Amino acid sequence: MNEIKIHQPGTRTTDYSKAEQIQKRTPKAFKKAQHVLNYAAKYVKNRGLFSTEKSRAKKLQNAIYDLEKALDQDGFLLEEKKINGKAWVLIEYFSLFSDTFPNWQNEYKALNKFIPKCFSETPKQSSTSETPNLKENVANGIKSATKDIVTDEDSAVECNEICTTEEGAAWLYTEVMIQKMNALAFVVWSKWGKNYDWADGDFMTENLVQGIYRNHDQPNISTTLMDGFMRLQRIEGEGPQRLQKVYESSANLVLKRDPNVRKEEITNYLDNKVEEFIKGFGKYFG
């Protein structure tokens, strides 16, 4: 079996002239191959928003199938494919990429093992076309939940009662919204992300942003909330220990604006608000 060429670090640099030649020869496949490398990077690093190892492997597999179709459309090694097979053609194509874009050596190594496995079984169909109503319903549920998050006046009042400064209260209220968004994302991913390709980070982000824009008139609130949301996604760990880190991340920011409040009081308040929010999920998703 052929393999993608692997180059030692520092022995090659990006060849822009060769990249232009590959793009002209295979315009459709060129873009699809970049998608494969991006998914391969997440697979190799074993990380990604709202994803498991299984879901990352599935997304990489689907991207490889898309590339294989694009190579056919571009007419790349069609005759050779009849003799050597689909995996052989993909590996030959990525050997060109490895010569041209040498900064993805770990990804190329992973693809040498991953690509042959993709064509040892029948490709799995995307679940998107099978569940259009479910996808739409979940999207609407996210937007509806986000509306309640950003229009919760009771939390604003409570934050003013807890904090001793206006800035601290405003920041705590913002962190309450961010914590609820984080809980919403976790529940959506837990319920649908493991089984449906569309329930990924992009889907969650898109619907969160739409929900914010539709229901809040403060110009910069979307950026503030989404920055905070992404901050929480980067916190490592799992289970109760990670959850405590998530709450402490918010509490530390509030304490910078109001050092008179006890940290434990803030984390307990956030925990109670999130628990209260999760109990009401039935009205959003049935």
Confidence class of residue 259 from pLDDT cuts 50, 70 and 90?
Answer: very high
Q: How far apart are CA 37 and CA 53, in angstroms?
A: 16
What pLDDT, on the 0 to 100 scale, is given for residue 132?
64
pLDDT tens-digit readout, 50-104: 556 777 888 899 999 999 999 999 999 998 888 889 999 999 999 999 999 998 9
Among 86, 92, 94, CA closest to 120: 86
* Amino acid letter, 220: N
Whether the Cβ atoms of residue 27 and residue 33 lie closer than 8 Å to each other? no
Nearest CA to 118 out of 156, 161, 67 is that of 67
Burial class (CB in 10 A: 0-12, 13-18, 19+), 33: buried
Q: Is residue 221 classed exposed, middle or buried when 0-12, 13-18 and 19+ CB atoms within 10 A define those classes?
A: middle
Angle, CA 36 vertex, CA 32 and CA 42 arms, to 5°: 145
Q: Provide the H-helix boundaries in 189-220.
A: 201-215
Mean pLDDT of 209-234: 86
Helix runs in 9-119, H state only: 16-25, 27-45, 53-74, 78-84, 86-100, 105-118
**Percent over 90 (pLDDT), the chain:** 63
State the burial class of residue 234 (Cβ atoms within 10 Å of its Cβ: 0-12, 13-18, 19+). Answer: exposed
pLDDT per position as a tens digit, 91-139: 999 999 999 999 899 999 999 999 999 987 444 444 444 456 899 999 9
Q: Smallest Cα–Cα separation from 130: which of 196, 35, 188?
A: 196
Tens of pLDDT along 152-196? 999 999 999 999 999 999 999 999 999 999 999 988 988 888 778
The answer to pTM > 0.85 is: no
Q: In the structure encoding, which two tokens stand for residue 156, read together?
A: 């604003």
The DSSP H or E segment spanning 259 is: none
Assess contact for 102 and 14: CB atoms under 8 A: yes
For 215, the token pair is: 């229901």
Q: Residue 104 region, left (φ>0) first, then alpha (ψ -120 to 50), else beta?
A: alpha
Of 40 and 52, the one with more pLDDT: 40
Q: What is the pLDDT of residue 128?
A: 46
Residue 127, pLDDT score: 46
